[in-house]
């Protein structure tokens, strides 16, 4: 890529990429006796968000998260109390940023990159999860899929970001720790950078676009981004 090409606008996924969903694990340990059920719940939440979108339906992500918890409890024969639902909502709304996030975002901002977020979660009143986590200052805009009533990786979710910012799809780089997210972004015409946090990895399969960049920590990924698209 020629150096005179403007660097892409960095579009960050939020849940698990920036915010630490493992802070939900104590709830799952208390309810199910096993903190690993968090991963089962999250995988089912993503599966059914994508099912809704493929079926032309939409329910806000938070509501779907609550319903998914009820489903997993039914499957496992566990009774849920209203207080369990309240705790899930509270924990989902107050997840801290991963320790590698603020230093990496600082580095990218100093290098001159524009940064926004794109999340499956609905937008809400202030303080937002990003504000509570102390990282909202890094982003010029925060986008939610609720505007298009479809969940990622539907192409419309990424396209709304390009449309709202007045740029081409090729002017965006989606940064996520979920391969299904980078695949969707790349299939829609964006660049993709994969953060291989624990419980996330590459999927070698035919016709599945490999990420343009990949690293296990956000600081390392940020350095790769700066090397590839020297901003400023």
What's the pLDDT tens digit per position in 149-178? 999 999 999 999 999 999 999 999 999 999
Q: Do residue 30 and residue 108 come from a single domain?
A: no
Whether 81 and 175 share a structural domain: no
Domain that holds residue 59: 21-93
Class of residue 24 by CB neighbours under 10 A (exposed 0-12, middle 13-18, buried 19+): buried
Q: What per-residue confidence (pLDDT) applies to 8? A: 97
Asked if residue 4 belongs to a domain, the reply is: no
| CATH code for position 85 | 1.10.150.240
pLDDT for 2 equals 47
pTM: 0.95
Q: Rg for the chain (alpha carbons), in Å?
A: 18
Same domain membership, residue 113 and residue 202: yes
Examine the domain organization and report whether 114 and 220 are in the same domain.
yes
- On whether residue 74 sits in a domain, the answer given is yes
The answer on 138 and 222 residing in a single domain is yes
Domain co-membership, 34 together with 135: no
- Among residues 93, 109, 130, the one where a domain terminates is 93
Co-location of 45 and 122 in the same domain: no
Report d(CA 72, CA 78) in Å as an integer: 8
Supply the pLDDT for residue 232. 54
Residues of the chain with pLDDT under 50: 1-2
Give the closest residue to 169 by CA, choosing from 178, 181, 179, 160.
160
Residues 126 and 33 in one domain: no
State whether 86 and 187 are in the same domain: no
Residue 102's pLDDT is: 98
User: Of 93, 121, 145, which one is at a domain's C-terminal end?
Assistant: 93
Question: Quick check: 173 and 165 in contact, CB under 8 A?
Answer: no
- Cα–Cα nearest to 169, from 144, 153, 188, 143: 188
Contacts of 196 (CB under 8 A, 6+ apart): 177, 202, 214, 215, 216
Q: For residue range 1-23, list pLDDT tens digits in order.
A: 445 678 999 999 999 999 999 99
């Amino acid at each position: 890529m020629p150096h005179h090409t403007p660097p892409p606008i960095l579009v960050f996924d939020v849940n698990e990429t920036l915010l630490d969903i493992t802070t939900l694990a104590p709830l799952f340990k208390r309810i199910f006796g096993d903190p690993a059920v968090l991963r089962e719940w999250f995988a089912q939440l993503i599966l059914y968000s994508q099912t809704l979108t493929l079926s032309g339906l939409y329910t806000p992500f938070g509501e779907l998260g609550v319903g998914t918890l009820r489903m997993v409890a039914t499957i496992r024969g566990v009774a849920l109390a209203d207080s369990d639902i309240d705790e899930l909502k509270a924990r989902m709304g107050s997840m801290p940023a991963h320790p590698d996030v603020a230093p990496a975002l600082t580095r990218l901002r100093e290098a001159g990159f524009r940064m926004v977020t794109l999340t499956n979660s609905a937008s809400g009143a202030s303080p937002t999860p990003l504000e509570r986590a102390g990282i909202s200052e890094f982003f010029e805009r925060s986008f939610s899929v609720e505007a298009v009533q479809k969940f990622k990786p539907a192409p419309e979710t990424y396209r709304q970001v390009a449309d709202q910012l007045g740029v081409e799809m090729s002017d965006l780089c989606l940064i996520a720790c979920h391969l299904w997210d980078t695949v969707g972004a790349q299939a829609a015409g964006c660049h993709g950078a994969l953060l291989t946090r624990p419980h996330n990895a590459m999927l070698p399969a035919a016709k599945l676009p490999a990420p343009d960049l990949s690293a296990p920590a956000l600081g390392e990924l940020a350095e790769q981004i700066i090397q590839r698209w020297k901003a400023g």
